[in-house]
Amino acid sequence: MYKRVSTNLNYNVNNIDKDKLDKELINIVDEDDDLDGLDDETDKDNVYKNSIPVSNKYKKFLYNVSSVITRLKSSSICKGISKSWFISSCIGIYLKYFLIYKCSKKTPENYNYMIKNITTKLSEKNLFFIKIFQAFANNNNIMDKDLFNYFITYTDKVTYDTTEIDYNGLYDLINIARANGDELLIDNEQPIKSGNIALVYNGRLNGKRIIVKYRRKNIEIKFKRSMEELQILINITKHMPYLSDLNINDLFEENYQIMLNQLIFSNEVKNIQMFYEKFKDVENICIPKVYSYFTDSNPEVIVMDYIEGKRIENIDSEDKDEYSKILSRFNLKCVFYDAIYHADLHSGNVIFIKDAKDMKDELETGTDTSTGAIIKLPPKLKIGVIDYGIIGTMTREEQNVFFMFFKVLVSKNYRDLALFIVENLSDRICIEKPAINDEQKEVIVGEIDTLCSRVLSVDNKFFGGEEIYEINKILKKENMKFSKFFCRVELAIAISENVCNSLCKKLSYLEQMMIAFKEIFGDDADNYM
């Protein structure tokens, strides 16, 4: 007598449930018993098609084999091979296109071809490489216009395939809307944008334009694997010149949970609602209204209002300083009034708006109160801020620390700035080692003072990634590093730095921040705390 074992093992090899697998393999029953409940020959044939005859004596053998395979997949050997393959393949991608470039004519076109290919291939290996490219997207100092436009476009067109689209869930949103007395139309099942976590669709809710943000299927597995791979690379950077001074490991650890929260859309909905409430009365800031009942019914989706405007590469040059002014006020209000900050403020998440009426009429009419004559007023400029998957919050104490840091920064007293960094924004790397003495402290403060005087005084530069790196080098010499709190804020600074700088024409971003700071606080800055 033979018995049968099902072969319908439709498991993801990276996410095998051992208990399910064991149960499937030992679910061996007598052939006659297996067929008793079937009504016709067709049903019996289907059982035969999906089963393999297995003798009783092989039952234990199959179980043991399955156990070995399951243990092997989670073994350190298998994980070690996987990690080695990831690292070597990343290096291989870089070397391949670098050597192609070196062997070709070294033209700007061939250089751009190399960068684009490395970008595409590495992003396919690990989705967090895209975040790195977003950080470069507005840095006009290291790339020409062709690469600038490529990075801007690419971060909204992350590769995806149709298996990542939940078509049934997408169209079930129509029923969810009807159940709430609304009418939803989805323009097209083809996404208009594809990000790391979600695919974005156009639609209409009761005739009003909306955006449907739908999470990619099985993104959790891919996301967590990417985090593990990223940790491997970060561990390697601790032993590499230059990169070891960036303190990347602390940066990663402090932002790990924030990045994981991107997967929980109910959190993002709450974040949008919070920002919407805090900025609903600010005329030149637009936060989309979110329709939370969709997420309550389907946690894979967010439905929100569509904000119409331009991307950073398409705005008029004469408007950039005004947009920079608006953005600086947005950031200051977030940090110093609301104790929150947008931690993913790259160019793709900022929409530049000229009031809808002004876009049609170009200039709004007004009346000169002194003469009664009709005059033309300039169009109103606004910015829309989207994507609240990654935000940061501050305690009151942290808020006060950052306020004092900024106050000292805009005062341009670089010795006070250096002293504040050492005393309030630094921690010891190795706790077992003694704290620095007064003499060592004086040396560090002097070096940071010299650095800030040399760098920040040039063109009124803002405190950004380059300064953070250089100061970290100085701190590291005396067993010190930036504090964990500052590491959280540091990532947000690094991401937003380039978009802020690219908007500045007549005034630097620091000058815009200084003006905004004085307008907001005036002579009351000393009483803020």
* Tens place of pLDDT per residue across the chain (529 aa): 433 333 343 434 344 444 444 444 444 334 444 444 444 554 445 444 444 455 555 556 666 666 655 555 555 555 666 667 778 888 888 888 888 888 888 788 888 888 888 877 887 777 777 666 655 554 444 455 666 667 666 666 777 888 999 999 999 999 999 999 999 999 998 999 888 889 999 999 999 999 999 999 988 888 888 888 878 877 776 766 655 655 666 667 766 777 778 889 999 999 999 999 999 999 999 999 999 999 999 999 999 999 999 988 889 999 998 998 899 889 889 988 999 999 888 888 999 998 745 433 444 455 545 555 555 556 789 999 999 988 888 999 999 998 898 888 888 889 999 999 999 999 888 888 888 999 999 999 999 999 888 877 665 566 666 777 788 889 988 899 888 788 777 667 767 767 777 887 777 777 777 888 878 776 555 555 5
Q: Are 482 and 469 in contact (CB under 8 A)?
A: no
- Judgement on whether residues 69 and 94 belong to the same structural domain of the protein: no
Residues 117 and 67 in one domain: no
Provide the domain count of the chain: 4
Instruction: Indicate whether 504 and 400 sit together in one domain.
Output: yes
Position 284 in a domain: no
Rounded to whole angstroms, how far apart are CA atoms 273 and 278?
Answer: 9
- pLDDT for position 144: 59
Q: Residues 38, 80: one domain?
A: no
According to the model, what pLDDT value does residue 182 have? 97
Residue that finishes a domain, picked among 204, 232, 259: 259
Q: Which strands form 51-54's sheet, in the order they lie side by side?
A: 29-30, 3-6, 51-54
Do 80 and 65 fall into the same domain? no
Among the three residues 109, 132, 154, which one is the final residue of a domain in this structure?
154
Domain containing 11: what range?
Answer: 3-73
Whether residue 42 sits in one domain with residue 84: no
Angle in degrees, 0-180, between the axes of helices 18-26 and 59-73, rounded to the nearest 10: 160
Asked whether residue 283 is domain-assigned, the answer is no
Is residue 17 situated within a structural domain?
yes
How many angstroms separate the CA atoms of 200 and 281, rounded? 28
Residues 246 and 137 in one domain: no
Instruction: Please say which residue of 211, 242, 259 terminates a domain.
Output: 259
In a domain, 168, yes or no: no
The pLDDT value recorded for residue 245 is: 59
- Residue 342: its H or E element: strand 340-342
Determine, yes or no, domain membership for 456. yes
In a domain, 504, yes or no: yes
Residues 18 and 137 placed together within one structural domain of the fold: no
405 shares its domain with 450: yes
Residues 93 and 66 grouped into a single domain: no
In the chain, the N- to C-terminal Cα span, in Å, equals 84
Enclosing H/E stretch for 6: strand 3-6
Q: Are residues 66 and 89 in the same domain?
A: no
Task: Tell me the sheet residues that pair with 202.
Answer: 211
Question: Do residues 93 and 122 touch, judged by C-beta distance below 8 A?
Answer: yes
Structure tokens at 239: 């032993």
How far apart (Å, rounded) are the C-alpha atoms in residues 134 and 484? 23
Residue 110 and residue 24 share a domain: no
Q: Is 126 among the domain residues?
A: yes
Give a yes or no: residue 160 inside a domain: no
Handedness of CA 330, 335, 338, 340 (dihedral sign): positive
